[in-house]
Amino acid sequence: MAVETTTLPQIKGVKDVPYEELFVSGHRTCQGCESALVMRHMVKASGPRTIVLGSTGCMYVANTTYYTTPWVVPWMHTQLGASGSAALGTAAGLKVLMRKGKLKNEKINVIAFCGDGGGADMGLGAISATLTHKDYNCLVLLYDNESYANTDIQLSSMTPYGAVTTFSPTGEKKRLMHTRWKKNVPGMLAAGHPESRYIAAGCAAYAVDLMNKIRKALELGGPTFVHTLDPCPKGWDYHPQYSQELGHLAVECGIWPLYEVIDGVCNLTGPTRQIAEGRKKRKPVIEYLRRQGRFAHFVDEDVEHFQAQVDKMWTDWLIPGVIPFTVPAKDQAILKIDKKPLHQQKTA
Ligand SMILES: Cc1ncc(C[n+]2csc(CCOP(=O)(O)OP(=O)(O)O)c2C)c(N)n1
Ligand code: SF4
Ligand SMILES: [Mg+2]
């Protein structure tokens, strides 16, 4: 069955970004909401022949208030943990309708989004299952504002170490209520889903990089996954004008590495690549932490712990910020692992 394809070429720079807006005014997200910007970039990159499915959360509730919607493309709500199932079911439904001749045979992009609560906690199993079904073309986008934001900033498995949320307030007896390190969702999905041709981590502060990742995912096809880190003025407690700056700092401090895994090959992208190659200095995490009220209770020892964990991601992990396995020094030669920065490594 021949399929008509639209192509989504890689965007070379901001001048090349499509003018057409498919996520417009009419939403009620907070001022400075980066998750809303992710939605805008996502459909700008995918174009008008796209169906968007969204699980419960800020990007559902604030985007579909009674009688108003910013979505220009077809949009459907799905249950909080169901983005993976909604993506797969819609892709399968379209395939059958096209095979039976009930729909024109053309490429329609299917994107299901979820928050960190809906995707990294509740719906992880469904996303994992979807990433094994290689015959269906669908993208799951996890927008990560590091809390259950819509229900008033509760702790999720993606909330960073020590952050204040409504479930982890700071107090006199206990300064840090939340002492778990953030779950590594894109790394985990990339390592365990060989049928998925594309898994990436992005950030709306690097808009072109993010749009190109969306396009690559849709072009390569099959079930794919993109995870974004989204500064949230309400939950992270900072002035809305600093959202882009915080996105930049998360990447520049090495806390949120940008990368993509294509057919099992990992490419670091943007400033993350520059840091790994030794062309850019990684900033200290204090520059990121001190800008947000959710870390205002941190004392030196908390900052040092945070920095040490991030340093470990860069120096000990098999792939900086991506694959969290460490290899003992005695085995590095056997496994031909070179722990030097990329620019100092021997090439074959
Ligand atoms: C099964 C289920 N449990 C709880 C809720 C209540 N609820 C609605 S939105 C939400 C928060 C979702 O958090 P996340 O997925 O991170 O999205 P965000 O609100 O942060 O954008 C919760 C708990 C629900 N709608 N369905
Ligand atoms: S609470 Fe955060 S994620 Fe939700 S609309 Fe406001 S800024 Fe966006
Ligand atoms: Mg959230």
Name the closest ligand to CA 294: 2
Give pLDDT, residue 348.
Answer: 52
Give pLDDT, residue 1.
Answer: 47
Q: Whose CA is nearest to atom 6 of ligand 2?
A: 30
**Which atom of ligand 2 has the smallest separation from the CA of 34?**
8
- Chain segment 5-36, per-residue pLDDT in tens: 558 999 999 999 999 999 999 889 999 999 99
User: Alpha-carbon distance 343 to 341, whole Å?
Assistant: 6
* pLDDT tier for residue 166 given thresholds of 50, 70 and 90: very high
Structure tokens belonging to residue 50: 């796209």
Q: Is residue 341 predicted with pLDDT exceeding 80?
A: no
Using an 8 Å Cβ cutoff, are 57 and 118 in contact? yes
Distance 313 CA to ligand 3 centre (A): 23
Pocket test for ligand 1, best of 55, 116, 143, 148 (most atoms within 8 A of CB): 148
Distance 332 CA to ligand 3 centre (A): 38
Distance 158 CA to ligand 1 centre (A): 14
Which of 67-76, 113-122, 213-222, 283-292 bottoms out in mean pLDDT, i.e. has the lowest?
Answer: 67-76
Q: How far is CA 215 from the centre of its chain?
A: 14
Distance 265 CA to ligand 2 centre (A): 34
Name the closest ligand to CA 232: 2
Q: Whose CA is nearest to atom 3 of ligand 2?
A: 232
Q: How far is CA 140 from the centre of its chain?
A: 10
Q: Is residue 339 predicted with pLDDT exceeding 90?
A: no
Measured in residues, the chain has a length of 348
- Chain segment 209-254, per-residue pLDDT in tens: 999 999 999 999 999 999 999 999 999 999 999 999 999 999 999 9
Q: Is residue 122 predicted with pLDDT exceeding 80?
A: yes
> Locate tokens 């490429």: which residue?
107
